[in-house]
Amino acid sequence: TSESVKFVYDFTEGNKDLKDLLGGKGANLAEMTNLGLPVPPGFTITTEACKTYLDSGEEPVELRDEVSAHLDALEKNMGKKLGQADDPLLVSVRSGAKFSMPGMMDTVLNIGLSDKSVTGLAKQSGDDRFAWDSYRRLIQMFGKTVLGVDGELFEDALEKAKEAKKVAVDTDLEAADLKKLVTKFKKIVKTEAGRDFPQDPREQMDLAIRSVFESWNTDRAKLYRRQERIPGDLGTAVNVCSMVFGNLGPDSGTGVAFTRDPASGHQGVYGDYLQNAQGEDVVAGIRNTVPLADLEQIDKKSYDQLMQIMETLETHYKDLCDIEFTIERGQLWMLQTRVGKRTAGAAFRIATQLVDQGLIDEAEALQRVNGAQLAQLMFPRFDESAKTEQLGRGIAASPGAAVGKAVFDSYTAIKWSRSGEKVILIRRETNPDDLDGMIAAEGILTSRGGKTSHAAVVARGMGKTCVCGAEDLEVDTKRRRMTVGETVIEEGDVVSIDGSTGKVYLGEVPVVPSPVVEYFEGRMHAGADDADELVAAVHRIMAYADRVRRLRVRANADNAEDALRARRFGAQGIGLCRTEHMFLGERREMVERLILADADNEREDALKELLPLQKQDFIELFEAMDGLPVTVRLLDPPLHEFLPDITELSVRVALAESRKDANENDLRLLQAVHRLHEQNPMLGLRGVRLGLVIPGLFTMQVRAIAEAAAERKTAKGDPRAEIMIPLVGTVQELEIVREEAEQVIAEVVESTGVELKLALGTMIELPRAALTADQIAEAAEFFSFGTNDLTQTVWGFSRDDVEASFFTAYLEKGIFGVSPFETIDKDGVGKLVRDAAKAGRETRPDLKLGVCGEHGGDPESVHFFHEVGLDYVSCSPFRIPVARLEAGRAAS
Ligand code: PEP
Ligand code: MG
């Protein structure tokens, strides 16, 4: 029905909040139009129209008429008709989804040119060369993107034309040359696409619109979306915009700009400008650009106006904006703006700068950064004091320190990285076809292009180290090498690139910790130089997150050293001490003796040996975490993990037997290994089951905990131990262990004379435990969700195997966008967590609830745990700052 649906919006109708419908580009063009900024008139076809097309294979029936009506209005406004022979209106047809997908989808410029109107354009502009150049660009872009002709055929023809004329750049080709090129291009289209290049302007426009719709689903667009976690069903909008020309001579040009430096956040004039060029030339890095500041000399009036507009935009959007603009014969036009991508460090700096400028408040500042960015800032950097051999310096496009073997094409990057090599992808410039290779590489190095080149934009988005425009490097992709002066770097040679300084080094440069980690470690404080400015920004935002968050953050740690680091990083206790980690190394033999014990007394002896060692472990841990809760989990993994490998041992014994010198101990060991061997150890004799089957094991651990706590108390410490039982499936298991534990604790209280309050609780990591949480809460003072095992058992995925086996296929097919072991599966596993939390609290209102699976340090999962009302998340020490930040973001 035509009453409610509206598939086309004029730029004057939309606004920046309509990104779902108009895409980012369309929404912001509308916003700028309504701000009174110079935007060439045009209209936007909605993502709904695209979705209909993608679902049904046909444009919605209303679309044609709506486009006609808007085109009519546009033609009236501009005083000329699309493709009109004597004075053509030309339009661009540009993709633009809700989330920016730089270079991934189609765009066609100069729609409306034909054999007839090209002469009209020439007359109107008084510039033959320009008209024919625009026409050849149209056929080239249209041929490649709409008609699917191999783009290299056009490029080769252009190269040949330059060679024939003996010129180096395309701007040196004259009208007559370009006219010949047009004939050549049309022939290419005819042979390759099996049809003539369409002369009807409306047909050009309709086909271009359709091709933009279709470009939503190209392989590279899909890959990019998976990488960036952009949903696959959003569709793209299509912007039809009257053309303005940057290729009308030296008083024209095109450029990109940032309202502040996307790498440092500093305010100033940042961007690139290219004289006498059209749209995509800048991003593609075809010719080298000049810094935006040079525009002041080239065209002061436009420069001043641009500065003014940038200020307007920043105040309006209250954020860093990036901009695409074109100058047509001294007249400035805005072609795009959006809140710009930035490096992790700049995100923190800008957020606090904007607070200081009074543009946003602290709550908003917290939303302007995220845990992934903070994690990035915690990466190590190159050691500045190391001896290095610098090869050159490019533009610091995306920070980080990357070391790897030089490769010169994406295919090799992928192949080598699959076989475990770290690689640096080196290209003259990258294009969207390099996406796979960029993902596979540790870092990206290009010899051409500025901060806004494809390589820079995409790498920043991926959080990947990138140095671009390192012009001293002669990259020869055909021969797979680059040369810098005398030095030749062949494929496979190691290089190091610093995305924070732009420096490129030969060989492996050692790395040092990040200043942000130094700050968390308490070894650095706010000051004045560049690193400290970042630290100061992180400090302020973390302080705010800590003030507003409700979730507490604990650490998964099982030794004093990790515990102390976690504490420095802001941990408010230990949420999971995996005691099996205390049984490794030389203690393994004691465990072996315990497992092999035939008689009660042998077993008791083994346990007696272990007791003081365990106790000492706990004393150290409680001391490190004095005053904060420490959740000690009793032994969890299957016992055979403590015994030798079954195959190795079998071979050893068989060999020994053949030599007739088999030793008694090996034979017993082999028997035990056989006895304990399980097909599915993860579902076998582990967790609470061990405690119930091996007499004295859990009670030894409980005794060690209780005695350690008593000793710490006597030493005037403040131990806050909690005892946690793993892999419980029914309350009966818990009740038995609980009773035994309480008895041991009572004995320790009795013998030491120290009063002890030790909370007893359980992990919820089996579906049955979650489903009977109301009953289990009768016997548990706290729950800690073990979302690793819970994910494993809810999905029936072996956590140790799947990532290497079929997950890649699942991710490729889009069955999930991210592994459920990484980000909590809200609908399945998450539902159990939510329901169990609720049921548990109904039984026991003061039940303490936490999570200690890997998800505890995953940003998206942290938000979920906040939402379902858990009390804390527990994660590895290094992820604690991330969890604090995300808990703050979830709460504000
Ligand atoms: C879990 O299962 O989520 C958990 C924390 O325990 P583990 O990883 O030690 O099995
Ligand atoms: Mg577990």
The answer to whether residue 105 scores a pLDDT higher than 90 is no
Tell me which residue has its CA closest to atom 10 in ligand 1: 789
Q: Per the structure block, which two tokens stand in for 794? A: 């809810």
What integer pLDDT is reported at residue 286 of this predicted model? 60
Compute, in angstroms, the gap from residue 786 CA to the centroid of ligand 1: 5
592 sits in which H/E element? helix 588-596
Q: What confidence tier does 120 reach under pLDDT thresholds 50, 70, 90?
A: very high
Q: How far is the CA of 759 from the centre of ligand 2 (A)?
A: 20
* Percent of the chain whose pLDDT exceeds 90: 74
Point out the least confidently predicted range of 92-106, 548-562, 782-796: 92-106
Ligand 1 pocket: which of 583, 787, 789 to mutate (most atoms <8 Å of CB)? Answer: 789
Specify the pTM.
Answer: 0.81
Which residue's alpha carbon is at the smallest distance from atom 4 of ligand 1?
Answer: 786
pLDDT at 3: 54
Indicate left, alpha or beta for 483 from its phi (over 0: left) and psi (-120 to 50: alpha): beta
Q: What is the per-residue pLDDT across 768-779, written as a single tens digit (0 to 9) for each?
A: 999 999 999 999
pLDDT tens per residue across span 445-469: 999 877 767 788 778 767 789 999 8
The ligand minimizing its distance to the Cα of 728 is 2
Averaged over 25-34, what is the pLDDT? 97
Q: For residue range 127-152, list pLDDT tens digits in order.
A: 999 999 999 999 999 999 999 999 99
Ligand 2 centroid vs 686 CA: distance in angstroms? 10
**pLDDT reading at 13 higher than 80:** yes
Mean pLDDT of 514-538: 83
Q: What is the pLDDT of residue 1?
A: 42
Whether the ipTM is more than 0.95: the answer is yes
- Is the confidence at residue 44, as pLDDT, over 60? yes
Please determine, for residue 744, whether its predicted confidence score (pLDDT) is greater than 70: yes
- Nearest residue CA, atom 8 of ligand 1? 788
- Asked if residue 728 lies in contact with residue 688, where contact means CB atoms within 8 angstroms, the answer is yes
What is residue 801's predicted lDDT score, i.e. its pLDDT? 79
Q: Of the residues 554, 558, 574, 576, which should be mutated to test ligand 1's pocket, given the most ligand atoms within 8 Å of the CB? A: 576
> What is the pLDDT, as a whole number, of residue 297?
96
- Which residue in 321, 852, 855, 863 is the catalytic one? 852
Residue 754 has a pLDDT of 97
Distance between CA atoms of residues 99 and 642, nearest Å: 50
Asked if pLDDT for residue 283 goes beyond 70, the answer is no
Query: How many Å apart are CA 145 and CA 138, to the nearest integer?
Result: 10
Residue bearing the bigger pLDDT, 516 or 596: 516
Q: Whose CA is nearest to atom 6 of ligand 1?
A: 786
**CATH assignment of 8-242, given 3.30.1490.20, 1.10.8.640, 3.40.50.300, 3.40.50.1820?**
3.30.1490.20
Indicate whether 653 pLDDT > 70: yes
Q: What is the pLDDT of residues 357-378, one digit of tens each?
A: 999 999 999 999 999 999 889 9
Query: Is 789 annotated for ligand binding?
Result: yes
User: What pLDDT is recorded for position 771?
Assistant: 98
Segment 853-857 mean pLDDT = 93
Tell me the one-letter amino acid at 603.
R
Looking only at Cα atoms, what is the longest distance across the chain? 106
> Domain-by-domain residue ranges, the chain?
8-242, 253-339, 351-374+516-539, 384-511, 549-582+616-634+699-891
Residue nearest to atom 3 of ligand 1 (CA): 786
What's the 214 CA to ligand 1 centre distance in angstroms? 44
pLDDT, the chain, mean: 92
- Among protein residues, the one with the nearest Cα to ligand 1's atom 9 is 578
Distance 579 CA to ligand 1 centre (A): 12
- Summarize the confidence of residues 734-763 as an average pLDDT: 97
Whether residue 321 lies in the annotated active site: no
| Residue 198, strand partner residues | none
Per CATH, which fold does 253-339 belong to?
D-amino Acid Aminotransferase; Chain A, domain 1 (3.30.470)
791 C-alpha to ligand 2 centroid (Å):
10
How much is the pLDDT for 194? 96
pLDDT digits (tens, 9 = 90+) for 316-357: 999 999 999 999 999 999 999 999 988 899 999 999 999 999
Taking the CA of 580 as reference, the closest ligand is 1
Neighbouring residues of 134: CB distance < 8 A, sequence distance ≥ 6: 90, 110, 113, 118, 121, 245, 247, 278
Residue tagged active-site, from 70, 454, 855, 863 = 454
Greater pLDDT, 808 or 256: 256
pLDDT number for residue 4: 67
Ligand 1, CB within 6 Å, residue ranges: 576, 578, 636, 765, 786-789, 852-853
Q: How far apart are CA 606 and CA 832, in angstroms?
A: 40
Confirm whether residue 429 is marked as ligand binding. Answer: no
- One DSSP character per residue, 83-129 reads T-SSS-B-EEEEEEESS--TTTS-EEEEET--TTHHHHHHHHHT-HH
- Asked whether 279 and 92 are in contact (CB, 8 A), the reply is yes
Average pLDDT estimate for 430-444: 89
Q: Any binding-site annotation on 786?
A: yes
CA distances from 388 to 384, 429, 446, 473, 688 (A): 9, 25, 20, 17, 55
Top mutation candidate among 765, 790, 861, 874 for ligand 1, by most atoms within 8 Å of CB: 765
Best residue among 577, 578, 634 to mutate for probing ligand 1, ranked by most atoms within 8 Å of CB: 578
Atom of ligand 1 nearest to the CA of 765: 2
Query: What CATH code is assigned to 549-582+616-634+699-891?
Result: 3.20.20.60
- Cβ neighbours of residue 329 under 8 Å, at least 6 residues apart? 248, 249, 251, 252
Report the separation in Å between the CA atom of 834 and the middle of ligand 1, taken as the mean of its atom positions.
18
Length of the chain: 892
CATH class name, domain 384-511? alpha beta
Residue 765 is assigned to a ligand binding site: yes
